[in-house]
Structure 1
Amino acid sequence: MATPPLSTLNPARRSRFALRWHTWLLLVAVVAYGVAFAMHWDARGVLWVKEQFKSPAERQASVWLPDYRAVIDAKPLPGMEKDEASDVAYDPQTKTLFSVMGKNPFLVELNLQGDVLRKMPLVGWSNPEGVTVLGDGRLAIVDEREHLISIVKVAAETRELNIADFPKYDLGPSKDQNKAFEAVTWDLGNQQLVLGEERPPALFAWKGDGKVLTGDKLKLASHALDMRNLSALAIDPRTGHMLALSADSHLLLELDKNGQQVSFITLLGGFNGLKNTIPRAEGVTMDEAGTLYMVSEPNLFYRFEKQR
């Protein structure tokens, strides 16, 4: 008796196998698309293509983030493992950096290599998440939990800051009260603070002279912030372009003065000189030479320099 070909023995079994295969393939495709959409990889791909058509003159006139590489990679800030580094700001007068710790509130001064110079407790703050340098020893500190911004004065002899000693401004309610105002940077050219809500990402401006704020904050166009969250802001003192940092998207994005995307870098391991992915990038700043500084939770320091 002849034996039927193996392929004709179990057509139902083959059909079920094919169905399962196509189902799994479809499921993988749906999940991959969902991840890409959530991480805004589609937008990154479009911007990457646009970057390829930028002329040398356009690149020279911008920050041009693709040229940056990490030269200090994940340097621990000693004794701050449980403090959660939340932001960092460069002071052109002292040539140092100021960083706020969000979990156990204090202000730390660092040199440009990420070495700790002094730590100053922030008495009365609940959850300081943003800091920016205004000039003449003044800093603005954002308390995300209390929806407040304070303008403080830090001198060479300062060892502690008490919120009761300084002017405070109410930031008002946010769309998501638990993901409220976190980012802040001083726009010297326009004499205003630029503030950022974490989620959904949104920008606001508040006029002032570096000592007091006037009027009320005004909402800015935020359509270019196609990122999962907004962690920090900085302004390049040379070009006036803004840097927007997203911890959830592992992304640093450059915007021009019109709020249009110019360039970006990913903060994933294996790219831009990073050995490992930055765990949770929470702060960014830039000095007058164009050097970038970042801090990440829990207590990591990064320095990026442009490779000319």
Structure 2
Amino acid sequence: MATRPLTTLKTARRSRFAMRWYSWLLLVIVAAYGLAFAMHWDNRGVLWVREQFKSPAERQASVWLPDYRAVIDAKPLPGMEKDEASDLAYDPQTKTLFSVMGKNPFLVELTLQGDVLRKMPLVGWSNPEGVTVLGNGLLAIVDERSHLITIVKVDADTRELNIANFPKYDLGPSKDQNKAFEGVTWDSSNQQLMLGEERPPALFAWKGDGKVLTGDKVKLASHALDMRNLSALAIDPRTGHMLVLSADSHLLLELDKKGEQVSFIALLGGLNGLRNTIPRAEGVAMDEAGTLYMVSEPNLFYRFEKHK
């Protein structure tokens, strides 16, 4: 009976091992590329490189998110563990924040330190996901499930809001009815409401005077929205730049007035003063001093300040 030489057996084993090794390496590369593509890490890498070429003057003229650090990190909003914080807005008149809870609809007013001042049930809303301050006690609330914007009046004596008592505007159908309009912010400089569709991410503008909306919403160029979903919007009152939040991408992106990317911050543990990754960032706001605020599901509050 013929036997194979020992050297031939060793060569065959090495060959099979090499094939297995290269197969595993190829599998890892394909998986890594797929993950990077899904998370838009390639886009973040390009933007990071571009950031390195920004001059000090350009950085000074922007929000410049890389300089921000968390000073309040994952502070729980008491009694709201099952309510799902869905958005956040800053009121320059009261110097407070307003947030909507999506699962059990109510509006909550917070201090700038994330302390609860009052809770106001939202009667008639089914899934409030967005809120913005229009001024003079007026707020706009977006209901993602009903595809409605409602403009409400809130004063110091408000304890409850009933949707039947306020004007409503139909947002119309979305490409994905279950992932519809979620982000909203008031652009006072241009007298328009900015709206964000969750998936696929898209931006819209709706003209108004801060009390009444006129005409219809207009879709804007959204090529800069390199993110998996759009969770919330905010306007920096100093520069007019827009902040776009993505819970799925763990990302906050700064866009200039032309809609072009300027800077970003990754909402991951170990970065920018965060102990842990923000679980699901759903709301963002910025005040006139440039302080940044966020809320995350289920009931977490964050405050970021700029450290030069």
Q: What TM-score do the two structures reach when normalised by structure 2?
A: 0.98
Secondary structure of 2:270 counterpart: coil
Q: Which runs of 5+ in 1 are unaligned?
A: none
SS at match of 2:149: strand
Counterpart of 2:226? Answer: 226
**For residue 271 of structure 1, what is the aligned residue in structure 2?**
271
Partner amino acid for 2:199?
A: R
Match of 2:297 in 1: 297
Q: Hey, what's the Cα distance between the residues in 2 that align with 1:74 and 1:169?
A: 34
Instruction: Spell out, residue by residue over 1:177-212, the C-alpha distance to the aligned partner (whole angstroms, 9 max, x if none).
Output: 110000000000000000000000000000001111
Deviation at 1:7, TM superposition (A): 4.8
Distance in 1 of aligned mates of 2:138 and 2:37:
41
AA aligned opposite 1:236 = D
CA–CA distance in structure 1, aligned partners of residues 126 and 292 of structure 2: 28
Matched position secondary structure for 1:9: helix
Q: Deviations over 1:3-28 (max 9, x none)?
A: x9965434333222211111110000
1:5 & 1:275 partners in 2: Cα distance?
59
Aligned-pair identity in percent equals 89
1:170 is aligned to 2:170: yes
Where does residue 94 of structure 2 map in the other structure?
94
In the alignment, which residue of structure 2 is the partner of 1:248?
A: 248
Please name the residue that 1:184 is paired with. Answer: 184
Provide the alpha-carbon RMSD of the alignment. 1.2
Report what 2:110 is aligned to: 110
- Find the counterpart in structure 2 of residue 51 from structure 1: 51
Residues of 2 paired with 1:159 and 1:128: CA distance? Answer: 17
Q: Aligned with 1:155: secondary structure?
A: coil
Which amino acid is the alignment partner of residue 102 of structure 1?
G
Partner SS for 1:103 = coil
Partner of 1:119, secondary structure, is strand
Is the alpha carbon distance of 1:20 and 1:101 closer, same or farther for their aligned partners in structure 2, counting shifts above 3 Å?
same
1:160 is matched with which residue? 160
Which one-letter code corresponds to 2:66 in the other structure?
P
Query: Number of paired residues?
Result: 306
Change (3 A) 1:102 1:7: farther
Letter in 2 for 1:213: L
2:198 aligns with 198
CA distance in 2, matches of 1:297, 1:49: 31
Residues 6/69 of structure 1: CA separation in 2 closer, same or farther (3 Å cut): farther
Matches within 5 A, 1:12-27: 12-27=12-27
Where does 1:33-72 land on structure 2 (aligned, <5 Å)? 33-72=33-72
What SS does structure 2 have at the residue aligned with 1:71?
Answer: strand
User: Matched residues in 1 for 2:141 and 2:7: separation?
Assistant: 72
Q: SS of 2:133's equivalent? A: strand
